[in-house]
Structure 1
Amino acid sequence: MLFFGFYFLFARTPEKKIFKNYLRSRRIMGIALLLLAANYSVHFFFEIRFKNADSAILMNLSTYFLCYYLFSSAMITLLDRFYITRKRSWTHIILWVIFSSISGVVLLLLPGGTVQKVALLALAAWLVIYGLVLARRVIVAYRRAVRIFDDTHADDLGAYIEWLSTFTYWALIFGVGCGLLTFLPDKYVFIWILSSIPFYSYLFYSYQNYLLFYEQVENAFEQDIQSEEELLTDTETEPEIVSEEEIPVSYTEIIEKVDNWIKTDGYVQKGLTIKELSEILHTNRTYLSAYIKTTYKMTFREWITGLRLEYAKNILKEHPEINVQKLAEASGFLSRSNFIKSFADKEGCTPAKWRKANLE
């Protein structure tokens, strides 16, 4: 954990301005990891649980409360660069001071007995609820980002940030579990420490892997991500002001434009966005998005993916010998793995199995 923490703090990233937000997120996570490493070190090397169990529990509660905020802030800032504000930071720091102070009073000043146990139960509930609230914020931010991507980009950019959702659920289970494990008898403390190894290893791997896709995702955020309030709520934004010149006089006009575009196989263009398509069709982006949702009952990405998959099946029929990599590229997919996943989701089998079942 010391290695992970120091690496997150000091390892270099590509010298591009766009990586500034990624670096900030990673440094916040690095601080959280070093705090937890210090906590584990005190337990492991100084055996504080065996010397003063109440002090050990106090240290755990205080550390977890602060790290919950650091973890969630690091994750959300990858999805919303405006999430971290001075007001929000001070609010959580004050909450941490209050929580730690009350925990100290309960554990060190209250006499053992029913009152102390009830107070400890209340503190544990507070910690769990706090963690749940922060985890919900991460999940809401993640889902909002995926919806934005699906409505505006043909490629599955949501797959690049899926680890954020997976890690959040894992962190929630692990965090609550650690909060409960801190009350276990001293002889079981090794379970609490060993359980952290796969968790933090996955975190490190995810951050490193995300570096490969971060620039692409951040460029998409540059175009489409919305304000802090919109990201963390489900409220609808006001539609764009559309001029009369931009709006087709009827659905007939846009239907004709879309049909002609489909006939020319324009959907195989890699990295296609709804903004680019609206420019190609000489129509308004908001109007085009509404047309796709109304007519096809699906998002922009789902619609383009369906067209690409039909195109891929036609190629397979004409050229059954083509390999999957070339087929994915010809159909407009960014990667072979994404093509296979999309194909399997729709057809229930891989392209190779579909070819065998339908063409042999």
Structure 2
Amino acid sequence: MNYPLYEYSLCIALPLMIFFGVYFLLAPTPDRAIFANYLRSRRIMGIAILLLAANYAVHFFFGIRFHNVNAAILMNLSTYFLCYWLFSSALTTLLDRFYVTGRRFAFHLAAWMLFTLLSAFILLGLHGGPTQKAGLTVMAAWLVCYGIWLARRLIRAYRRAVRLFADTHSDDIGAYIRWLSIFTYWAVIFGVGCGLLTFLPDRYVFVWILSSVPFYIYLFHCYQSYLLFYERVEHAMESEIASEDEILSDAGTEPEPEPEMPSHLTEIAGKIREWIAADGYLHPGLTIKELADTLHTNRTYLSGYIKATYDLSFRDWVTDLRLEYAKRSMLRHPEQNIAEIAEISGFVSPSHFTRIFKEKEGVSPSGWRRSRLENDPIS
């Protein structure tokens, strides 16, 4: 093994992981009850990172890899299995405060103990040969499948939350939790990669150590950034996501069937036309509950009507209305800049308006206005 490269990689990764783990455990958050779930999630993540740091420390200070390769592999496998559960629990908790329960904790703890005992028997009880290789293959497959299963639950919870936000909020609340999806896929690749690298020759060990550095830096950055938006997301979740069963019990990710529509569809349609004519959709932070209260109707029926009539989620429907208003404003008031147009049209920021506009029209707002005014100038 290239000892200096191995040791230098540990010297880089270990201090960072200790810092991140301790920070996640002890750093303060705003002293308000709504941040309790964020703090719980961050502490679970801190414990996971410190467990991995302890693993690195054993490698660094005791050189277990050089004295007993099988013992090092056993320690790695056991640590990864436990940390898979902790990582997924920390992230899923951000989407569902009821996720971590005593029953679920006992199940995963028992699974970890069984996995560790079987791995110990294969690595330390068997002495080479095809039987040990077959056993290690089974344990590696178990670890990979376990990680993918946990990630699938997290992705389902994420998609469920995004879908609910799209159906109930005009602003793109789902954008604030998009990092959870990105990090989950990265975590699967990283976790599976680390598990496989455990079995590779010694000269490649430094790869999984160095690969952890950008991984944990990104995680730290995401948690810090999410703190700025967490309160808004949590408020939305409090009203839209009632329990873990509602989030995670679905067999798939398809929306639930809409309820039957009431007989007074004509009345709802008329109220919506009046609301659109009065530019009610320009109200920032509009929710479907607020609209239902304004129209004096049930929000479930209102959501079903919007989907049935426009084939759009509530957010996409409101966004289309705002975009059309923005287009009219850009042509009627060419002296106004894009930031002013975005504000009066109900968008949360000029950058958000520009991004949505380019997605819909294939061109920037300023480019669209310039082209339209050149071809059809308004006096």
TM interval, short-chain normalised: over 0.9
Q: In structure 1, which of residues 328, 345, 357 is the aligned counterpart of residue 359 of structure 2?
A: 345
Equivalent residue number for residue 313 of structure 1: 327
Query: Match of 2:359, as an amino acid?
Result: D
Equivalent residue number for residue 349 of structure 2: 335
Q: In structure 2, which of residues 78, 96, 107 is the aligned counterpart of residue 62 of structure 1?
A: 78
Does 2:152 align with 1:136? Answer: yes
- When residues 110 and 248 of structure 1 are mapped into structure 2, their CA distance, relative to the original with a 3 A threshold, is closer
Equivalent residue number for residue 82 of structure 1: 98
Q: Normalised by the size of structure 2, how large is the TM-score?
A: 0.91
Equivalent residue number for residue 223 of structure 1: 239
Equivalent residue number for residue 134 of structure 2: 118
When the two chains are superposed, the root-mean-square deviation of aligned CA atoms in Å is 1.6
Does 2:299 align with 1:285? Answer: yes
Percent identity for Structure 1 against Structure 2: 63
Query: For 2:216 and 2:149, how far apart are their aligned partners in 1?
Result: 22
Equivalent residue number for residue 178 of structure 2: 162
Q: In structure 1, which of residues 28, 42, 49 is the aligned counterpart of residue 44 of structure 2?
A: 28
2:258/2:304 contact within 8 Å kept: no
Question: Once the two structures are superposed, what CA deviation does each residue of 1:61-113 show, in whole Å capped at 9, x if it has no partner?
Answer: 00000000000000100000011100000100010011011111111111111
Q: CA deviation at 1:237?
A: 6.6
Query: For 2:221 and 2:54, how far apart are their aligned partners in 1?
Result: 21
Equivalent residue number for residue 43 of structure 1: 59
Query: For 1:180 and 1:87, how far apart are their aligned partners in 2?
Result: 30
Where do 1:251-290 residues align within 5 Å? 251-290=265-304
Query: Match of 2:360, as an amino acid?
Result: K
Query: For 2:116 and 2:104, how far apart are their aligned partners in 1?
Result: 18
Q: In structure 2, which of residues 59, 73, 89 is the aligned counterpart of residue 73 of structure 1?
A: 89
Where do 1:147-186 residues align within 5 Å? 147-186=163-202
Which runs of no fewer than 5 residues in structure 2 stay unpaired? Answer: 1-16, 375-379
Does 2:205 align with 1:189? Answer: yes
Q: CA deviation at 1:356?
A: 2.5
Aligned residue pairs total 355
Which runs of no fewer than 5 residues in structure 1 stay unpaired? Answer: none
Query: For 1:203 and 1:6, how far apart are their aligned partners in 2?
Result: 14
For 1:321, what is the secondary structure of its paired residue? coil
1:248/1:254 contact within 8 Å kept: no
Question: Once the two structures are superposed, what CA deviation does each residue of 1:27-67 show, in whole Å capped at 9, x if it has no partner?
Answer: 00000000111112222333221111101100100000000
Q: CA deviation at 1:239?
A: 7.8
Query: Match of 2:354, as an amino acid?
Result: I
Query: Match of 1:120, as an amino acid?
Result: L
1:8/1:30 contact within 8 Å kept: yes
Q: CA deviation at 1:152?
A: 0.5
